[in-house]
Amino acid sequence: MRTGTVLSALVAAGLTVGAATAEGQTPNASIQATATVLSALSVAAGNNLVFGNVTPGVNKTIAITDGGAGTFTVTKAASSGVTLSFTLPTNLASGTDLLPIGSWSGAWNTSASTAGATAFTPSPAGTNTSVNAATALTVFVGATVSPPLGQAAGNYAGTVTMSAVYF
């Protein structure tokens, strides 16, 4: 009986201690909030896309490797990729006269050279570059003009716009 009393006291003490521990528990866990701040993107126009003289009835193509290719320069953060999007004309204009233009070609490179450049087709939908360490990209643009036989003589021009956003 004496043993029973002692054990009962121990049991009661144990329960009391246990309850106090339960109320005092504050389990926790942590995660990280992370972000990578990138410098602002900038796009600068470089060379105009120049076809020079064209002959009515004869298509003329400027390839991205040609001297007349248009260029843009993108300044970006290292270790990032960008989406290149274009607004492209369907005609060059000389007053009310129009000169059809199309068959756009493009390439981007981390240097100002077409050697080793990555080809793509410029489009409003956009093209992703690779994620790369460069802080500048050069984009080359070519196209084809298609003057019909009756094309009016004159100087024709249109605007090619490129935009870039991080992806």
Partner 1 sequence: MRFQLLVLLSALAAAPSAAAQVSITGIRDLTFGPVIVGIPSSVGPSHPTKSGRFRITAPLSSKVQIRFTLPDALAGPGGAQLPISFGSNDAMAIGSAPGSTPITFNPKATRNPQFQPSTAYDVFIGGTVTPAGNQQPGSYAATITLTITNF
Binding site for partner 1 (CB under 8 A): 1, 3-4, 7-8, 10-11, 14-15, 18, 21-23, 25-41, 77, 80, 166
Q: Which is nearer to partner 1, 14 or 124 (CB)?
A: 14
How far apart are CB 149 and partner 1 at their closest, in Å?
50
Q: Which is nearer to partner 1, 41 or 63 (CB)?
A: 41
Nearest residue (CB) to partner 1, 85 versus 123: 85
Which residue type, as a one-letter code, is found at position 100? Answer: P
User: Cβ 138 to partner 1, closest distance in Å?
Assistant: 21
Q: Could you give the CA distance from residue 136 to residue 41 in angstroms, rounded to a whole number?
A: 10
Contact 49, 142 (CB under 8 A): yes
CB 154 within 8 A of CB 87: no
| Nearest to partner 1 of 113, 130 (CB atom) | 130
Cβ within 8 Å of residue 152, ≥6 positions away: 94, 97
Helix or strand (DSSP H, E) at 106? strand 97-109
> Shortest approach of partner 1 to residue 55 CB, angstroms?
47
